[in-house]
A and B are shown apart, each in its own frame.
Chain A
Amino acid sequence: MAMSLSDVPVGFEAKIISVPDDDVGSRLLSMGFVPGNSVKVISCAPLGDPRVYMVMGKMVTLRNDEAKRILVSVENGMEPLSNVTDGIWRVVHLVGGRNFREKLRSMGIDIGSTVKIVSKGVVETNRGVFRIGLGMARRIFLRRDDA
């Protein structure tokens, strides 16, 4: 499912689905941000914005305002929690500092743990059922648990 490039965590690769249909988009296309290409998030600036992307062998910086308008899908079937509405998933990546992780751990969400998504934003873990806000849900990455 589609998400914004600005939500893809550092170190991950994503496939571009679409770029905005205006001047900014034309510029992005010519720089290699072409639908179908993959783009890797290399690092982010000390203040979180802009971030560096690797696209077609070049390192290019984009502001989050622009990256927000590029739709991508994360590779290997990974999804942010905000995109998921049901099923059993495994947590593979968390974007955030120690506090964020602590808070999630208290809800039974940690890297490697399995969670059941009841409906959009509602998660059942071994500690109970929790409602998770959109801001946080964007920073939790899941992969469908096949086992």
Chain B
Amino acid sequence: MTIRVALCGNPNVGKTSLFNALTGMRQYVANWPGVTVEVKEGVRSWRGHQLIITDLPGTYSLLATSLDEKIARDFLLYKTPDVVVVIADALSMEQGLYLLLEILELEARAILVVNAIDEARQKGLVIDRQELSKHLKVPVVLTSALTGEGIQDLLDCIVSTASTEQKRVLFNFSDKTEKMIQQLAALIKAQVGEAASRWFAIKYLEGDPHVVERLSQLVLKSVAKPGNLKSQIARERYDHIQLIVKESIMAISKELSMSEAIDHVLTHKFIGIPIFLALMYLAFNFAFETVQPLSDFLEGTFSHLAELTKARLGEGMVTSMIADGILGGVGAVLAFVPNIFALFFLLGIMEDSGYLPRAAFVMDRVMYSLKLSGRSFMSFLLGFGCSVPAVLSTRGIPDVRERIVSVLSVPFVSCSARLPVYLLIASIFFSRNQGVVVFSIYVLSMFAAMISSLVLNRTLFKGQKGIFVLELPRYRLPSFRNLALYTWLRGKHFLVKAGTIIFISSLVLWALMYFPDPNDVTRSFAAQIGKAVSLVLRPLKFDWRASTALFFGVAAKEIIVSTFGMLFNTQGETLTEQLSQLFDPVTAYSFIVFVMAYIPCFATLATIKSELGTKYAVISVIYSFSMAYVLALAVRMIGGIFA
């Protein structure tokens, strides 16, 4: 028999680790159309049954006020899983029980899981399972995802619950509220014949926007206005919950807990922010410096392989395709692998230990003025290393609006691949104050990212206001198993989704360069495209060679330098000389400004596509190109006044 199970719970109750414990490696990120929120599914066979487990996004309620809540609710409402497992945190069960009461209104077969029972026991907390079960009228399982305790019980419980009859266990509100609910429910049933009429009635009284809209044609106003009993209902549910909790849990002692102690230092008035910056620097250093030798080794191996192939097979189209196209493409993808895995490893540690929400908390005020939250600050910082991991790190920003804004703005932050271009241009045209020029570009890139997020918030998401609520979970030592799984799953996702795109695009680029005449780059299709592009770029005074270099730069920004070399067919001193005739200083500066802001490289675009979908990748191309154009034009005009 196949049993479909849904996991629900508040954020940070250890839902993901429980999911990992239940499914192990047999899991995948469910591809839900139009959904940017990550939903995972996994399979487990247990005592002859096949369990399909869906890990729903963490929510506090089923009121569809955020996307997460809507996804979780629609799943429960329309896909009706056989068993709903509601996970509550043993150390603060109230919010979890609140969610359970809401889910029970849907007349689902529910199981309450009280997780982190080991931590509760450590703190001298005793949870009475029978008492809880008696009051809530649902089976209760005590688990610890960390130690694996109670996982088998839970699996048994799922199997036995799935075969029980669907029963109505409803929480009765106070007489007055209950009367209103029943009146409404009767009306709803009579007018639309909706099965879950009681649920709709409650949601209507709670002012759920979707339900209110759906029921807008019905004549319900005579009984109650939508949202009439919003806080009354919440109040009555929590009163009930507090009663239950009082009966089934034995006292907690009150001393400065471990988490409070750590928080005292890490969110300290004076050193909180410096500590965050220092930790970010260390993380940055680890992800981009420490593992760099590994990246270099992989890249070196592949270019070595390419040379070997050329030597073995001799010149020719097939050789060039294998050596420059395929091996080059694979090498380009693999060069990212160490950085990406290192980054996810560190992000995993920060997320698992509970530091990540603190970092967001500490930096929030800074980002709030840009209509972002502290969570996205880190992505912007990572952007200085490479846009790809920076875009990937936006995963986990709970607010969709904010995530999209961050993804579209992060590529403006000047990544390390753009540095060679700045250095080349600066050394030729601004040899006296190279440092100042390069530094000014970096400052400009930060401003561009900031302006971009402001602009996007004002236009694309005008009038939408997200509420920033973070829960600060207890600190805990990250478990190696979870960490490895986290790193592997996210790294794999990148390799499969973005890797293929990077690979294919480098093949295409090879073809554009190779045909029709492999010996003369200036006649290649790529150069012809460059000539076409230069028509658009004429107001900026970029000629066809600069345009071609920019076109190639879309593959990876550092290629711009080598493209100049190929186009002029020289290198070193002569290249410098040739280039110095290509631009005047103003054009040179506007050129590097353009390089800073224009279209993200293929790898970044591929990542954006795999994270947010094709639509946003296209938007990113158009958006960054226009931004670069405007900026470069501004430099031209301002420079024109002075020059």
Contact = CB atoms under 8 A, between A and B. Distances in A.
Direct contact of A and B (CB under 8 A): yes
Interface of A: 18-19, 21, 23-32, 34-37, 42-43, 45-50, 52, 56-63, 66
B368 A46 contact: no
Of all A-B residue pairs in the complex, the 4 with the closest CB atoms, nearest first, are A30-B61, A57-B92, A47-B365, A29-B234
A28 B61 CA distance: 10
B365 A48 contact: yes
B445 to A, nearest CB: 24
A45 B60 contact: no
B364 A63 contact: yes
Contact of B364 (A19, A23, A26, A49): A49
Nearest to A35: B231
A52 B472 contact: yes
A35 B235 contact: yes
Given A24-B467, A26-B61, A60 B91 contact: no
Interface residues of B, number: 45
B60 A61 contact: no
A35 B229 CA distance: 12
A47 B93 CA distance: 31
B231 A43 contact: no
Nearest to B207: A26
B63 interface: yes
B366 A31 contact: no
Given A29-B231, A34-B235, A63-B368, A57 B91 contact: yes
A60 B357 CA distance: 10
B362 A45 contact: yes
A85 to B, nearest CB: 29
Contact of B468 (A34, A50, A58): A50
Contacts of A29: 61, 230-231, 234
B211 to A, nearest CB: 12
A31 B362 contact: no
Contacts of B263: 43, 52
| Most chain A CB neighbours (cut-off 10 Å) among B91, B230, B263, B365 | B365
Contacts of B227: 21
Interface in B198-244: 206-209, 227, 230-231, 234-235, 238
A47 B276 CA distance: 13
A46 B238 contact: no
A34 B231 contact: yes
A50 B364 contact: yes
Contact of B95 (A45, A50, A58): A58
B269 A46 contact: yes
A28 B364 CA distance: 19
B463 to A, nearest CB: 13
A60 B238 contact: no
A51 to B, nearest CB: 9
Contacts of B364: 45, 49-50, 61, 63
A61 B366 contact: no
Interface in B352-368: 357, 361-362, 364-366, 368
B121 interface: no
Given A57-B91, A61-B472, 14 more contacts: A21-B207, A26-B207, A27-B61, A27-B469, A29-B61, A29-B234, A30-B60, A30-B98, A31-B469, A37-B238, A45-B361, A47-B273, A56-B95, A61-B471
A26 B361 contact: no
A49 B368 contact: yes
A49 B469 contact: no
Nearest to A62: B469
Interface in B240-288: 259-260, 263-264, 267-270, 272-273
Contacts of B95: 30-32, 56, 58
A46 B92 contact: no
B460 interface: no
Contacts of A56: 92, 94-95, 238
B31 to A, nearest CB: 28
A26 B70 CA distance: 14
Nearest to B366: A47
B92 A58 contact: yes
